[in-house]
Amino acid sequence: MEKIIIAVDSSCDISKAFLAENEIPVIPYHISFGDEDFIDGVTISRDALYKKVEETGLMPKTAAIPPAVFSDFFAELLTKGDAVVYLSLGSRFSSACQNATLAAGELENVFVVDTNSLSAGEALVLLHAIALRKDGKTAAEIAEDCREYASRCDVSFVLDQLTYIHKGGRCSGVAALGANLLGIKPCLGISDGALRVEKKYRGKLKVVVSKYIQERLEGVSVEPDYVFLTDAGVEPEVREAAYAALEEMGIFKEIYKTDAGCVISSHCGPGTLGILFVRK
């Protein structure tokens, strides 16, 4: 049986302990502040990123991983296994997926999966890929199955403040809200691989997240095994309210609580919380 290595990038928001336990290599993104360059999760953490924004007034920027870096990464992994399945940040968010595909085209047995997602949306696909590997599927079969699975991932977030997403220019629907409407807490969802404003809430985040979760899941047919509750830094009471809302609905067997890393936090900022699950 071939030894299949499943790899992700640092925008996949799942715990380092889980990645280590399942032998999942990670290729990191770089985060820059002006001329300063940092390696996501290695030389900068989310909290350090927020602190730097406060101290400098600069907004963080992420850059796509170049093809040459992917080539070295994949070549190294192929010395440890027979095939590589790489789960990429969605192609609508970064040219990194295209760069990974270019690099994979020069090597044998490297399969790139465009998750069309970000954050724990990638983690959903990762859990599925690991299960397929345990079932003895080939690398090609895992990649093909994961592409279909990714199309059913429901990914959304509620933002408490708009500074990061507005200045980053990642979602024109949010930018159009204008500075005078900062009391609005938009719900961003991924549709056709792109972030769009799907709903606008008002009120305190603790109240908003409960309503958001109820509306997001009401009448939806889901895969009940697990759901991710992921945030980019919220007050404990907000996280607790979200967890309680998920538990009360009684849909999922397991609720994974994860922290958003530097990639999603660079663009959404503190006070961002989302639920991520798979539709049937």
Q: Between 22 and 197, name the one with better pLDDT.
A: 22
Please indicate, yes or no, whether the overall pTM of this predicted structure exceeds 0.85: yes
Residues 6+ apart with CB under 8 A from 171: 165, 188, 195, 196, 197
Which among 228, 16, 205 is positioned nearest to 122, based on CA atoms?
A: 228
pLDDT grade for 1, boundaries at 50, 70 and 90: confident
- For residues 87 and 126, the answer to whether their CB atoms sit within 8 Å is yes
pLDDT beyond 50 at 179? no
Identity of the amino acid at 192: D
Res 171: pLDDT: 56
pLDDT grade for 182, boundaries at 50, 70 and 90: low
Distance separating alpha carbons of residues 201 and 229, to the nearest angstrom: 19
Residue that the structure tokens 């936090």 belong to: 265
Q: Which of 52-61, 101-110, 137-146 has the lowest mean pLDDT?
A: 52-61
Percent of the chain with pLDDT strictly greater than 90: 83
